[in-house]
Structure 1
Amino acid sequence: MLKMMTFQGLLGQHPVPRTLNFLGHPQKLPSTSEADSEASMSEASSEDLAPPLEAGVSPEQDGAEAVKKKKEKKKPSALTNVLNILRGKKKSSPSSAQPEPGPGSDKPAPTVEELKAALEGGQLEAAGHLLALERELVVLATAGSLDAEELVRRQSKVEALYVLLRGQVLGLLRRPLDAAPERLRQALAVVAEQEREDQRAAEAGPGAATLVTTRPRHWLQQWRHSVAEVASERMGARLATHTKGRSEVEDAFLNMGHTMKEDLEAVVERLRPLFPAEFDVVTTYARSYHEHFAAHVTALAQFELCERDAYLLLLWVQNLYPNDILKSPKLAAELQGVSLGSLLPSRQIRVLEATFLSNEVVSVKELMARALKLESQRWAQDMAPQKLDDHCHSELAIDIIQIVSQGQAKAENITPELGLQIKQMLLVELAAFLRSYQRTFDEFLERGKQLRNYRANVIANVNNCLSFRTSMEQNWSTVQNPRSHLLDPLSELKSHGFDTLLQSLFEDLKPLFKRFTKTRWAAPAETLEEILTTVGRRLPEFRELQDCFREELMEAVHLHLVKEYIIRLSKRQLVLKTAEQQQQLARHILANAGAIQRFCTQNGSLANWLQPALPTLAEIIRLQDPSAIKMEVATYATSYPDFSKGHLSAILAIKGNLSSSDAKSIRNILDLDTGTQAPSRPLFSLIKVG
């Protein structure tokens, strides 16, 4: 039987990476005038972002003015108020007139060269000073303190520093598992601060016309793009070798499935505790991996796939991906609120499922026909059947059951609903196969009589019916009547097999039964004893039948003995005119009936329904009162609904002292409607009377 396929079962020893590795080449991030910024950065100095000289003031005047200003008490200016508003503060007070120098306010603000060196060294603490420089530049531009050329020059330096910062931050986030937790938190904090600054800039409105617009920077969005790139690299990595026995499609699915599952588990266990909520790290990674998987599946579905790969595609889309990956123990709760959807549109899935059902039914039909052909060739070649537990055995039933069960299991592996659909379709094909099997077996019964292993192969095929019947009763019961669709061909096959096996025995018994009428029922006990002895000698021929079929075959023998005995009584060749003669015949019949019942029961017959057949006829022959005979006939007709007036007339013909009027009156009892149904087990319908 085909075992239910699972994602873990499919993996086997597949050599896919076992750990999440977000390593890779650092992402080259787009930037406005990035090349210019880098070039300008090489010339940056500590004075690049210093306030400009007032127009028309000489250097000497500048020095004197500087000394004078230091002595004056500073007051809040319009420039300071603008800066504070941009920083999110209220209107400035005298104590907060100057722009914040950034972290470490008790120390001088770092120079541009120092910031550059710090960022190149990966010191993310410099991000705060860089943000302060950016804000001060905006304030200067808004106040008109710098000319356009100077603003452009200074802004290019700020942007060059941001290029360095972004490379450090997003480089860390691209390979988060390689970073120390504290350093990762720093990078995340920088991105979060940049997002807040984007929001503040948007609320403040357009800046000075002389500044190039650099916000929003969208670093969070760029991080999400990098996650998508990492997912594409991880999921799209080509395997160096393919596993023997698997197609490239199967290997690709296994690699993507395993990679996605283990990578997302690492995200849940190791990254989620470190990432702020606004990053929605699990959802971001899950969607990126899902989108790559879906794109691969969509592209693959456009091709004309072989049956195996088409089945594999459906299996992943409908079962393995949603159940073994998205609903795996470590991911189910985390992904419950993430609406990833299906890997393929429902319309395309329906088309693929219809194609799969059609292909699978055709495949099952062809496999069953091939199995029957091979089996019938074995019969024709006079090959002896196998023996299993001393019974003749054929693999045909096992092969057919396995073929059908595998077809249904494949569909159930995709979805239970698809399993139900194909079950109905396979039942139709199985019923057609069994009819074909019966016809092929009947042909063998006619043509193979001279073969040495003829009887053994007949027994093996009768035994097949047990495996078929057991499987159908356990696994293939439907709302439809299984007997007419499936069991009837088997019943016919078994019946024809029994007829063949018993044919020579019944031919041997025929002359013995004729003695009853030829000798006018003289010494009936001796005749019956010879009949039973003949049957007993032949019973070992059937020991290779399954036990249940030996019992059924013995029931067929039992029926034959009772039927032939009644035929002899119904020949109208014996007329007994006295009550004493009739009573003596009745005693012989009772004795013979007892002997037949004991012999058949001891040899396995369970046909208890035959027990009253001969004793009641004996009673009808023995009785002399027409009313009493009518009562027996009425009871008899209830037990054997196929007991007709013709059969009754043949029995009454033995009673030579019964008047024609009484005989007619007794026969009319059978005209009464007793409410009996047609016999489920025929007896008298097998007996023809003249």
Structure 2
Amino acid sequence: MCLRFHGCFSCRSCRGGIPSFSRFRFWTRMRIRSGSTEPEGFTRNSVPGQSALSMGTGWFNGRLMKMFRSPRGQEGLTLPSNTDGRLSTSSEEEVEQMMVSPTVPHTFEQMLEEQLFSKASQQLIEREELLFGQNTEEQKLKDHEAEVKSLAADYSTLRDRILQILLQSFSLDIESVKGLTSAVITIHQEHQQDQLWKQRSRTSPCWRPCRWTELHNKTVLSLVKARMDNPQKSSEGQRGMSSIMEDIFCMGKQLKDDLHFVVNVVKTCYPPEHNICQSYAELFHQAFSFGLKNIADFGLGDKDCAYLLRWVNEYYPDLLQKPELSSEINADVLGKLLPQELLKPLEEQFLNSQQNELVRYIDRVLGEAKQNWSNGEEPVREEGCYVSHVAYDIIQCINGLVKSACTVVGDINKARSITCSLDSLMKRYKSFQEEVVRLNRANSRAIIMANLGCIQQFREVLEKNPHLFKENIRTECLQVLTAMKKSAHSYFLTPMHEALKPQYRKLGTNEWLSKPVFKNLLLSLQRQTEDLQGLNQSCLQELVSQFEEEVTVEYVRRLLKGDVKLKDRNQQNQAYHEVKENAEGLRTFFLGMGSDQLWLQEILLTLAEVLRLQDLPAVQVQVASLGTLYPDLSEKHISALLKLKTNFTRSDRKTVKETLTDTLRETSRNQTRTFFSNVLIK
């Protein structure tokens, strides 16, 4: 309303839809209720169109200074007046109702006692306007000196009560919730009155500006700081904790409990647009960050360092992502608890400790394996196969440490630096296997069989989990494992080839065409492979596949050596059938052993076709086809093969070799499969 001190009830701005007599009764009633000479909400010399108690814009500077800011263009939250100063229609109805059913007036002291701080504030503002609202002569103020002192004392008392209820923000009961709500409204009202005095060109009362917004800020800030500086002790999670870990835990739990209280209780005392939960979250974030900085400055042990980093990168972010808090708090605005310049040395300390732990663990695992071998012990058998737990134990350790480090430091690229020394550790494992092979003790064969299983496990992890390793370390480790597998295969296959040499020598000779040479070779192969029992199925398959390739290479080498001369079509047909049957025999045998090298049979069948064919163009087609599939096929190989056909002229051989040259020129040499480069021709 815009009631004037001179009592004019006829001006348009004052009518508010209430007859003059009714307005007079209303003014009188307000005087009785407030105990003052002017109606509640009265503003002497107020700015036209602006209520003395309406909501202003802008309260705090910075995040917390914006705590009480109203949306742009919005008036006060508690006043029912329109923008022109008149009461709204609903408020007029309430006024009429109050005149019909008068309430018992409250004194200032009663209002304080019942925690009706906003009404008490309104009463003080009305008294202030009566004394200071108009251009008051100094003599008049001297005449009311007692009233001014009384009003100043009442403001001081109200301020103390507001401060008291703010300090109870984390110990609110039902009544104090109402009190804090009223206190928040009071701060709004007093802030608006401060703003009004800024627009006046006369001397303000000594208590203006009252700056209760700053009082609120400082009180909340000191309250949060005090709670984080002296968090409640808790019996949760303290077993095995150091004193530093316990301090961090208690601060974190205090923050968690208080933020939940803010969201569930304190928030109800503030208007939604004040975003009080975010404001409190930022204060607690700053306090927690300050506490952690002080702890980090002490110089932490490895366990304390890891625990602090977990709070920074895991526990605290997870806490803010809980639905109850994430709906009220924007965690992205808060940022990290610690700056990068503090985090970096802590992360380096932690990662170094994890790397050292990995090295110590692998040292222990390899040391135990070497000691067992030195003691003559064989690896355990599982389902008939020799098994070593070296790879499993090391893989589990790597996987656990890297995943844990990723959580602690919040970055997989940093976490995998833990494995930066894995290549040197793999080389130590390779040296251990080389010693086992070199000394060849009674239990060495079983050790190598078990090692092949470990090599396979390591390779699978390196190939399928590249995120666990830096690329250069991963590449180096794979190379070491390849060398270890090659050494292990050689350990088993070299003695087997030595035993097969008597049968190898008869291949590609006249004896080979007239006697059951190949049958004896298959029998020898069967005896040799019986000693491979003890390998797991996948390792056996790899070893047998390599063995089949090496036997086929030796077969082709003996054939191309030229000990047999095929003078006519009949001998060439006989050689064709012999090579074809041998190819099928080898494939059947090795297939039974688990080999999947079907392509080796195709090579022998193609060579057999070249021996059988008499037409030059047909021979050219077979050679071109073979050269397309195997770019390592050379003119030496084709020349040696065609020399077996003594009826094949030098000119024909030259033509076929030219065909091969043309084919190889057009064929990519980047194909991975090779064969003939292993067939050495003198």
TM over 0.5: yes
Provide Cα deviations, 1:82-137, integer angstroms capped at 9, x if missing partner. 9999952359xxxxxxxxxxx99x99999xxx866985787756666666666667
Other-structure match for 2:240: 245
Please tell me whether residue 304 in structure 1 is matched to residue 299 in structure 2: yes
Other-structure match for 2:389: 395
- Matches of 2:457 and 2:405, distance apart in 1: 23
SS of match in other structure, 2:328: helix
Deviation larger for 238-247 or 608-617: 238-247
Q: Partner amino acid for 1:185?
A: T
Other-structure match for 1:334: 328
Other-structure match for 1:468: 458
Which residues in structure 2 correspond to 1:400-419 (within 5 Å)? Answer: 400-413=394-407, 418-419=411-412
- Matches of 2:445 and 2:663, distance apart in 1: 46
Please tell me whether residue 219 in structure 1 is matched to residue 212 in structure 2: yes
Contact 1:462 1:497 in 2 (8 A): yes
Please tell me whether residue 195 in structure 1 is matched to residue 191 in structure 2: yes
Please tell me whether residue 513 in structure 1 is matched to residue 504 in structure 2: yes
Change (3 A) 1:590 1:287: closer
Contact 2:420 2:470 in 1 (8 A): no
Provide Cα deviations, 1:367-412, integer angstroms capped at 9, x if missing partner. 5455444444444444333444544333332333334434542454
Provide Cα deviations, 1:465-496, integer angstroms capped at 9, x if missing partner. 33223323332179979995453332322222
- Matches of 2:214 and 2:240, distance apart in 1: 43
Which residues in structure 2 correspond to 1:141-220 (within 5 Å)? Answer: 143-144=138-139, 151=145, 159-176=152-169, 177-180=172-175, 181-204=177-200, 207=203, 213-220=206-213
Other-structure match for 2:434: 442
Other-structure match for 2:318: 324
Other-structure match for 2:13: none
SS of match in other structure, 1:273: helix
Structure having greater relative contact order (Cα 8 Å, sep ≥ 6): 1
Q: Flag structure 2 segments of 5+ consecutive residues without an equivalent.
A: 1-35, 47-97
Change (3 A) 1:189 1:523: same
Change (3 A) 1:376 1:199: same
Other-structure match for 2:580: 590
Provide Cα deviations, 1:305-356, integer angstroms capped at 9, x if missing partner. 33444444444334543x3233432233423399434333355445655665
SS of match in other structure, 1:405: helix
- Matches of 1:381 and 1:621, distance apart in 2: 57
Which residues in structure 2 correspond to 1:14-413 (within 5 Å)? Answer: 88-89=43-44, 143-144=138-139, 151=145, 159-176=152-169, 177-180=172-175, 181-204=177-200, 207=203, 213-236=206-229, 237=231, 239=233, 243-276=238-271, 280-321=275-316, 323-336=317-330, 339-349=333-343, 352=346, 364=358, 367-368=361-362, 371-413=365-407
- Matches of 1:483 and 1:631, distance apart in 2: 44
Q: Partner amino acid for 1:344?
A: L
Change (3 A) 1:137 1:656: closer
Change (3 A) 1:403 1:536: same
Other-structure match for 2:552: 562
Other-structure match for 2:589: 599
Provide Cα deviations, 1:66-97, integer angstroms capped at 9, x if missing partner. xxxxxxxxxxxxxxx99999952359xxxxxx
Contact 1:172 1:179 in 2 (8 A): no
Contact 1:516 1:524 in 2 (8 A): no
Which residues in structure 2 correspond to 1:413-562 (within 5 Å)? Answer: 413=407, 418-420=411-413, 422-423=415-416, 425=417, 429-431=421-423, 433-447=425-439, 449-452=440-443, 454-476=444-466, 485-516=476-507, 520-521=511-512, 523-525=514-516, 527-562=517-552
Change (3 A) 1:545 1:406: same
Contact 2:232 2:254 in 1 (8 A): no
- Matches of 2:155 and 2:273, distance apart in 1: 22
Change (3 A) 1:619 1:194: closer
- Matches of 1:455 and 1:687, distance apart in 2: 29
SS of match in other structure, 1:335: coil
Contact 2:388 2:454 in 1 (8 A): yes
Structure 1 residue 606, shift from structure 2 partner: 0.8
Structure 1 residue 610, shift from structure 2 partner: 0.5
Q: Flag structure 1 segments of 5+ consecutive residues without an equivalent.
A: 1-80, 92-102
- Matches of 1:358 and 1:498, distance apart in 2: 37
SS of match in other structure, 1:392: strand
The sequence identity of aligned pairs, in percent, is 26
Q: How many residues align?
A: 584
Provide Cα deviations, 1:258-283, integer angstroms capped at 9, x if missing partner. 33233223322323233246865324
Change (3 A) 1:107 1:304: closer
- Matches of 1:617 and 1:86, distance apart in 2: 112
Other-structure match for 1:57: none
Contact 1:562 1:613 in 2 (8 A): no
Other-structure match for 1:686: 678
SS of match in other structure, 2:511: coil
Structure 1 residue 682, shift from structure 2 partner: 3.6
SS of match in other structure, 2:512: coil
- Matches of 1:637 and 1:109, distance apart in 2: 111
SS of match in other structure, 2:268: coil
Structure 1 residue 560, shift from structure 2 partner: 2.7
- Matches of 1:228 and 1:238, distance apart in 2: 18
